[in-house]
Amino acid sequence: MNTKYRENPRLGIASRASEITTVKERPVIRDKRNYCLFCEAPVRKLTKHLTAVHEKEPKVLHLLFWKKYEEGNEELPREVHKVRCFGNSLHNVKVLQGKASDFVVS
């Protein structure tokens, strides 16, 4: 598989060209990983990961309930954001304790 890489001038690193989009002629890299609250794994699509892997957890069941029965509800993105931030903050505590290496900025 021949993947093209493009260098990001802001960060000085090469990224996959498929993950780079331009907004007003500035490259935007979409490769940030958030940490799962339950299994502490780094994932790119947290909502999809939660519904596929942790569907039995009470917090995820609550999110699935909102998604299924309240389609136009504005609370769902807020609740997912809370789960995302809490998982990232738990990971950052481990970084400060010296048990992990990547600090996640929300």
Q: What is the secondary structure of 21-58 as a DSSP string? A: EEETTEEEE----EE-TTT--EES-HHHHHHHH-TTSH
pLDDT at 1: 46
Q: Does residue 90 carry a pLDDT above 90? A: yes
57 in any annotated domain: yes
Model confidence at 2, in pLDDT bands (50, 70, 90)? Answer: very low
* Pair (20, 72) in one structural domain: no
The residue to which tokens 């989009």 are assigned: 21
- Rounded to 5°, angle at Cα 56 from 79 and 60: 5
50 in any annotated domain: yes
* Pair (39, 23) in one structural domain: no
Across 66-74, average pLDDT = 65
Across 80-104, average pLDDT = 90
CA dihedral sign, ordered 65, 71, 75, 81: positive
Which stretch of DSSP H or E encloses residue 15?
Answer: strand 13-16
CA distance 7 to 80: 32
1: containing domain: 1-31
102 in any annotated domain: no
Query: How far out from the chain centre does Cα 24 lie?
Result: 24
The residue to which tokens 């569907």 are assigned: 55
Q: Worst-scoring range by mean pLDDT, 40-44, 72-76, 87-91?
A: 72-76
Domain count, the chain: 2
* Pair (18, 61) in one structural domain: no
Q: Worst-scoring range by mean pLDDT, 2-16, 29-43, 66-80?
A: 2-16
103 in any annotated domain: no
Mean per-residue pLDDT over the chain, rounded: 77
> pLDDT tens digits for 7-39?
555 555 555 555 555 556 677 667 789 999 999
* Pair (38, 86) in one structural domain: yes
